[in-house]
Amino acid sequence: MMKRDYPGLVLLALSDMAILVALIMVFAYAPREATMGDVQRIFYFHVASAWVGFFAFFVTFIAGIGYLARRTRRWDIWALSSEEIGLTFITMAVLTGSLWARKAWGTFWTWEPRLTITAVQLLVYIAYGMLRTAIVEPERKARFAAVYGCVAFVTVPLSWFAIRWWRTIHPDIMAGGDMAVTPRMAHTLFVSLGAFTLLYFALLRQRMRFEWAADTLARLREQIEGDD
Amino acid sequence: MTEMSLYLIIAYAVFWGLTFVLVLSMWVRQGRLEREIQALSALLEERSR
């Protein structure tokens, strides 16, 4: 029986509370945006999901470099666990963004630079999982995934700068633009970013524990096969 | 219900839905692994006696 992970449970509880606070702020503290109305409230969790997705892929990138330098399982576990969470959060950002776009642009999807790069990014990181499944030998799998995770990270700065380098209709909240971000909106956004980051670490910890358990199981199987 | 609030509800349902699926998949896989680990550990213990 595995030991109860009390720090992990505390982290999970803290992130749940932070998400709850963020939700309350989204619906009760942040003002109603003048042009878009209530649908603008999607913005807080949409940006936070995209942030966690980018951050998770950055961790996969760093862990990939770590693996190539050290060749230890720990780095590979960091990389694959973070990638899985990043993929979920980027999917969340795409889906919630398309609902926002329906109101803002009159369509769920348009092939403008930011959205196109995000679609490519989604496919690239889905392929990361497929690559891992396709390779059986563990060391080879980890090495290939590390290189792939580093190359795939190119999509993150590309996506980030897409709205600055090319003509695009995607809003740039850093530069102000169409939507006026009031102080209350900014507070709500920062609390949402913090809450999602906490949730990321809580999920990452659980996902990594799963991989360690999988390794334990593999060792037990080897031991039993060796005995036979 | 206005079209706008419907989009808002769907967006937050997407967030909760995907988070739930991620946590549930981790929980189910972890549970399956733990059961297998327990079974194999018991088998090894039995053999060592």
pLDDT tens, A163-216? Answer: 888 777 777 665 555 567 889 999 999 999 999 999 999 999 999 999 999 999
Query: Which residue is associated with the tokens 């029986």?
Result: A1
Chain A contacts in chain B segment 2-21 (CB below 8 A)? 4-5, 7-8, 10-12, 14-15, 18-19, 21
> The pTM is what?
0.90
Q: What is the pLDDT of residue A190?
A: 96
Question: Residue A224 is nearest to which of B12, B38, B44, comparing CB atoms?
Answer: B44
- The residue whose two tokens read 């897409």 is A162
**Gap from B42 CA to chain A (nearest CA, Å):** 11
Q: Is the pLDDT of residue B49 over 60?
A: yes
pLDDT at A162: 84
Whether B33 and chain A come into contact, CB under 8 Å, resolves to yes
Percent of chain B past pLDDT 90, that is, above it, reads: 53
- Judge residue A152's burial from the number of C-beta atoms within 10 Å of its C-beta, 0-12 exposed, 13-18 middle, 19 or more buried: buried
pLDDT of residue B4: 65
**Number of neighbours of residue A54 by Cβ within 10 angstroms:** 21
**A2, A95, A206 member nearest B14 (Cβ):** A95
Give contacts of A92 with chain B, Cβ < 8 Å.
14-15, 18-19
A153 phi-psi bin (left φ>0, alpha ψ -120 to 50, beta other): alpha
- Cβ proximity of A203 and A85 under 8 Å: yes
| Nearest-angstrom CA–CA distance, A121 and A158 | 10
What percentage of chain B exceeds 70 in pLDDT? 92
- Cβ atoms of A26 and A44 closer than 8 Å: yes
How high is the pLDDT of residue B48? 81
Report residues of chain A scoring pLDDT below 50. Answer: none
Q: What is the ipTM, given to two decimal places?
A: 0.82
